[in-house]
Amino acid sequence: MKITNVKSFVSSSGHFFVKVETDAGIYGVGEGGLRRRGTALAEVVRSFESILIGANPFQTEHLWQVMFRGGFFPGGVVQSAAVSAVDIALWDIKGKALNVPVYELLGGRTRDKIVCYPHNGGGSVEALVESCRKTHDAGWKFARWGLADGAGTGTFEPKRAIQYGIQQVEAVREALGNEINILVDVHTRLDPADSLEFCKKVEPYNPFFIEDPLRSENPASLRRLRQQTSVPIAVGEQFDSKWRFREVIEEDLLDYCRVDLCIAGGLTEARKIAGWCETHYIHLAPHNPLGPVSTAACLHLCLASSLVGVQELPRAPMSSLTDVFPVQVPYESGYLLPPESPGLGIEFNEDALTNVTKPDFSPPVGYQRDDGSYTNW
């Protein structure tokens, strides 16, 4: 079997997909992260064509190495996201060719279903509580929301956000009791001193984890936080390879690994990161803000992994992009279920994406502080 064509697609919603075709009539589909950089990813994938066309799609490790290292200079997160999309598509081909789900190729199932968490929100504490109550009544075991300052003006002031975040955690815990697992995503918006204050003050409410409590550029800053709070920490969604994970894993600076399969190098790289995490008793909590391919790839990784905490799932299967993906992975009451069809278990209708593009020139996302200075999204 040989690869005959590689196609890139950018949906109107910004999702980036790759379709890899073969001379056996089998295709695979992958997804890349960085929804605001789809056309950049497409150009990187196009640069891979000389590597991929004519290659054996079963050589996932070799092709990963050549794509990742073939430019000599490190390509950064854009290159890694492009590699991720192609790599996931190759695993899809491999599963289809062997007539087995991808999780069988990763070692087989270690569990029967994967617990997931939704995205909750609201313009007030009361609205957040109602959102969490609604998803809990629908079967979800987790509630998650992003840290905000509550002003409703598009600003983010750390001290105001800390106080508002504590009110939110307290209100959700009191309303839903200990049955609900609370997750708060700081989105890298706090500096160490402020993050430590927030983590210490929510300790009594027993959150499942606090996500991205600090900016990701300097993982060493997690040491101070780790030493002074007992709150579980989840990081990793911005890391673009196993090397970026090295310090936080080796120094036990996290409890939950937020690996993004569509940024960190696809299934080939994520399975290495997962195995590494196992040696430090770190559970997986894959980052998944994207589309149906990302969801499917995360599901297969978690089904075959020994340590899984929870899977992010802001959009349940068959609730979005159904024209592009008329068949998606199974879901029921807050859990993703094992697909029985070969490959990733999804079907791709490329005609639904014909002539659909999304420019990458939208303004930067983020918040400002009261004085007009920029802070993280």
| Domain range list for the chain | 3-99, 104-353
Asked if 174 and 352 touch (Cβ cutoff 8 Å), the reply is no
User: 10-residue block means of pLDDT along the chain (377 residues)?
Assistant: 96 91 98 90 96 98 96 90 98 98 98 98 95 97 96 90 97 97 97 96 98 93 94 97 96 98 98 98 97 98 98 96 97 97 97 66 76 87
Q: Are 86 and 48 in contact (CB under 8 A)?
A: yes
Tell me how many degrees the CA angle 280-248-37 measures, rounded to the nearest 5.
125
Same fold, 3-99 and 104-353: no
- Which residues is 287 bridged to in the sheet? none
Q: Which CATH class, in words, describes the domain spanning 104-353? A: alpha beta
pLDDT at residue 23, rounded to an integer:
98
State residue 37's pLDDT score.
Answer: 87
Separation CA 312–CA 115 (nearest Å): 9
Residue 17, strand partner residues: 9, 31
Q: What is the pLDDT of residue 358?
A: 54
For residue 325, how many C-alpha atoms fall within 13 Å in the half-sphere facing its CB?
26
Neighbours of 333 (CB within 10 A): 11
- First-residue to last-residue Cα distance in the chain: 44
| C-alpha to C-alpha distance for 306 and 109, rounded to whole angstroms | 9
CA distances 39 to 88, 293, 294, Å, are: 19, 18, 18
State both tokens at 129: 């509580």
Displacement of CA 212 from its chain's centroid (Å): 13
CATH number of the 3-99 domain: 3.30.390.10
pLDDT for residue 62: 98
**Residues tagged active-site:** 187, 287
The pLDDT assigned to 11 comes to: 87
The pTM (predicted TM-score) of the whole model is 0.96
Phi first, then psi: give them for residue 71, nearest 5 degrees.
-90, 0
* Burial tier of 220 (Cβ tally within 10 Å: 0-12, 13-18, 19+): exposed
C-alpha distances in Å from residue 330, one per residue of 1, 112, 294, 327, 338: 30, 12, 14, 9, 7
